[in-house]
């Protein structure tokens, strides 16, 4: 199962980034989580049974109103996450 970790840099905290990402995720067959990092970045971990679905979800984030707030994104392939259901905001 394809899984990715994306680290977003820019004006990504205090602007509803996590909430909007969760809303976007509801339109896709993805599971995972999003959280703020202490250094000001946002970390997204997501997986799907279909790589195209996962890529479409990530593209939808970039094309949403969040896209203008993102300065950089670091995308890493990670092992499939176990025990993850749905898409959540981590605190």
Q: What is the pTM of this model?
A: 0.94
* Domain membership of residue 7 as a residue range: 3-79
3-state DSSP of 11-80: CCCCCCHHHHHHHHHCCCCCEEEEEECCCCCEEEEEECCCHHHHHHHHHHHHHCCCHHHEEEEEEEECCC
pLDDT by residue (tens digit) across 48-73? 999 999 999 999 999 999 999 999 99
Residue of 11, 35, 36, 73 marked active site: 36
Count up the domains in the chain and report the number: 1
Q: Is 65 marked active-site?
A: no
Q: Is residue 26 part of a domain?
A: yes
Q: Is 18 marked active-site?
A: yes
pLDDT by residue (tens digit) across 19-33? 999 999 999 999 999
Q: Is residue 69 part of a domain?
A: yes
Residue of 18, 35, 65, 85 marked active site: 18
Q: Is residue 46 part of a domain?
A: yes
The CATH number assigned to the domain holding 75 equals 3.30.70.100
In this model, does residue 83 exceed pLDDT 90? Answer: no
Name residue, tokens 């749905």: 86
Mean of pLDDT over the chain: 95
């Amino acid at each position: 199962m394809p899984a990715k970790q994306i680290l977003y840099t820019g004006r990504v905290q205090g602007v509803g980034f996590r909430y909007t990402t969760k809303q976007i995720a509801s339109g896709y067959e993805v599971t995972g989580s999003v959280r703020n990092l202490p250094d000001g970045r946002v970390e997204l971990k997501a997986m799907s049974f279909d790589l195209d679905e996962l890529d479409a979800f990530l593209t939808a984030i970039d094309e949403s109103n969040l896209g203008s707030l993102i300065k950089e994104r670091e995308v890493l392939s990670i092992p499939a996450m176990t025990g993850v259901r749905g898409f959540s905001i981590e605190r």
